[in-house]
Structure 1
Amino acid sequence: MPTHPTRRMLLAAGAAVGATGGAGPLLGACGRRSWDDLEPAELTLATGNPGGVFHRYGEALAKAWQERLPGITVHTRGTNASVDNVREVASGVSDVGFSLADTAADARRGRGVWNEPVDLWALARAYDSFVHLVVRADSDVRAVTDLAGRRVSLGASGSGTRGIAWRCMRAAGLTSDEFRPVAETLQRSADALAADRLDAFFFVSGLPNTAVLHLSQAQDIRLVPLGHLVPRLVRQHGSEFSRSSIPASTYDLDRAVDTVSVQNYLLVRRDLDERLVHALTRVLFEAQPRVDELAHGVRQPNIGTAIYTSPLPLHSGALRYYREQRD
């Protein structure tokens, strides 16, 4: 017997927990694609900070959805990312949105910044994000504990970066009294580091992060290793965290950097029509070459891992698509 649920087991079980919505066959009577008779709709996709991968990938994905789905208009909405996006999708301000998995899991369980459980549903597990702790190359900060007494941007309010940055600092044994926390967006943090107004900044992103890449081209930088914090993060906060490496070639660094990675989820409103969510999920995978044209190099969801969104259940429209692929 396997020690972990297999993909087939999860898909079979998921049929009992999918969200409700209007059902419809994959093909119509005349062999039409499932989205040929979709009702016209306007959707909002909550993305993230300019310069971050949520924003870049979201812009490309919105365009691909519009191109492939007649009558469907997709507007993107720039936000401070995960925390904002969870609130927007849960409240119906946005229909779809990106979130770091730990933020979404906290919301679903009603912990962390969430006073009670949030009814969240997933369309897919997307790519993984990596925790960047960026310093100037000439900085004497070599470990996270060296941030004591320093000016450190933990990310903007409403961002998933901010939550993970705090967790990393606490896992390293640093309290808020021992360093000088700053709340800034990604681009402002990068600009402040270059101008020597900050000693370091955190950002959690897929690879490469455009703002960090541009900074590395204008200013010699280093990334501080964080991978050793993973066991404590997992014990304290959950299995959404893993130990990973950022390749040296990503930002023309001297060597690869051992760091923390975290999964990303694509959230979706529970009450969104099942046929529409099925179509969005199908295009998410079928239009990947087009998305790569629009946002070259951005990592995209893998059909083999996309269903693993625990503790968030999959929307029934997404679940139906994945069940069709298992055979």
Structure 2
Amino acid sequence: MKTKLKTLLISAALSTGLAAGVAQAQERVFFGIATGGTGGTYYPLGGMLAQVISNNSELQGKKISATAETGNASVANAGLLGRGSIESAFVAADVLDAAYNGKNQFKGKEIKNLRALGALYPETVQLVAQPGINNFADLKGRSISSGSPGSGQWQLLGDLLSAYDMSRDDIKEDYSSFSQSAEKIKDGNLDASLITAGSPTASIVELSNGHDISIVPLTGAPVKKLLEKQPYYAQTTLPAGTYKGVDKDVETIAVRAIWATHTDLPEDIAYAVTKALYENTDTLAKVHVKGKEISVQTALESVSIPLHPGAERYYREKGLIK
């Protein structure tokens, strides 16, 4: 299916108190951004990015009108791009690489029309659990949400279980969303949830404000083994105070989010939206603390698939590509 990118002529009839004026036409280009659920970080940042693009992008008199759409996060977003059902989407770096190269969930189903616009911010892997669950091994025999089967979260949980010499048979797996799993933890119907998102994450903030939680560390030899298998992940620290009751730094891992598109997006559009993002990062920082971590200096980090020619043109202008 071809991209849904299209233009619409909007005519505005100008009138005075005495007579109607002459209609004028303005050409408008619509540009969609697939994000994630409302309980994560993709959604609020995607909404602000849409505003930034709409307020700062013009193409020879054409106005770009961007909108953010809720989505089912990385794996589903990669599929949307592959089908040309949306102009752009947020996708975790490891999932984007797997989709392009036909690995893991995409084995035998590579999506070769994917292209990168640029890197965003590191997404923190947060293993949120009931009080008393203090290490990954404590999850044996317990219930844990990993999101939809085949999702990036689901794949990561399998990799973590393997790294800790466990399997899915050793846990009671749940497939709830971020917000749903937070509600289940609060109600005592779920022991833990694996949530990969920019921190602080809205669903965890809301949960911690009314319920004691534990953020389980992911570190040591098992995680080192995982990082060798998944090079897109890196060790990071969730600072003390990120959530109510989390009073100590928590060692965990993170993966960078990538803004991606497909080959059917026109070059001038790709150039304009890429420029709008990286030249207005201060605005994104006002919406979420992770917006402060988006920078043109890190725009090519963890980008393993081809760049869209429009984005590449912008990076050449900035001297990031020779």
Q: Fold-level match, TM-score > 0.5?
A: yes
- Counterpart CA distance in 2 for 1:199 and 1:125 is 33
Deviation of residue 157 (structure 1)?
A: 4.0
Deviation of residue 210 (structure 1)?
A: 0.9
Determine helix, strand or coil for the equivalent of 2:199: coil
Partner of 1:98: 90
1:160 pairs with 2:155: no
Q: 1:51–1:211: 8 Å Cα contact kept in structure 2?
A: yes
- Counterpart CA distance in 2 for 1:233 and 1:302 is 28
Partner of 2:142: 150
- Counterpart CA distance in 1 for 2:192 and 2:181 is 8
- Counterpart CA distance in 1 for 2:40 and 2:55 is 23
Partner of 1:259: 252
- Counterpart CA distance in 2 for 1:122 and 1:266 is 6
- Counterpart CA distance in 2 for 1:309 and 1:104 is 10
- Counterpart CA distance in 2 for 1:192 and 1:116 is 34
Match of 2:265 among 249, 272, 275: 272
Match of 1:123 among 110, 117, 120: 117
Aligned CA RMSD, in angstroms, stands at: 1.7
Structure 1: stretches of 5+ with no match in the other structure: 1-37
Determine helix, strand or coil for the equivalent of 1:142: coil
Report the residue type matching 1:312 in the other structure.
Answer: I
1:307 pairs with 2:307: no
Determine helix, strand or coil for the equivalent of 1:277: helix
- Counterpart CA distance in 2 for 1:156 and 1:129 is 18
Identical pairs, percent: 29
Partner of 1:61: 49
1:321 pairs with 2:309: no
Deviation of residue 133 (structure 1)?
A: 0.5
Q: How many residues align?
A: 286
Report the residue type matching 2:55 in the other structure.
Answer: E
Partner of 1:33: none
Cα 1:257/1:180, change in 2 over 3 Å: same
Cα 1:179/1:203, change in 2 over 3 Å: same
**Which protein has greater RCO, CA pairs closer than 8 Å, 6+ apart?**
1
Deviation of residue 59 (structure 1)?
A: 0.8
Partner of 1:173: 165
**TM-score (normalised: structure 1):** 0.83
Match of 2:234 among 242, 265, 276: 242
Partner of 2:279: 286
**TM-score (normalised: structure 2):** 0.84
Q: 1:227–1:244: 8 Å Cα contact kept in structure 2?
A: no
Partner of 1:48: 36
Determine helix, strand or coil for the equivalent of 1:272: coil
* Aligned counterparts, 1:182-197, within 5 A: 182-197=174-189
Structure 2: stretches of 5+ with no match in the other structure: 1-25
Q: 1:49–1:79: 8 Å Cα contact kept in structure 2?
A: yes
Determine helix, strand or coil for the equivalent of 1:304: helix
- Which one has the largest radius of gyration? 2
Determine helix, strand or coil for the equivalent of 1:250: coil
- Counterpart CA distance in 2 for 1:309 and 1:256 is 25
More strand by share: 2
Deviation of residue 146 (structure 1)?
A: 1.2
Determine helix, strand or coil for the equivalent of 1:103: helix
Determine helix, strand or coil for the equivalent of 2:123: strand
Determine helix, strand or coil for the equivalent of 1:93: coil
- Counterpart CA distance in 2 for 1:132 and 1:313 is 30
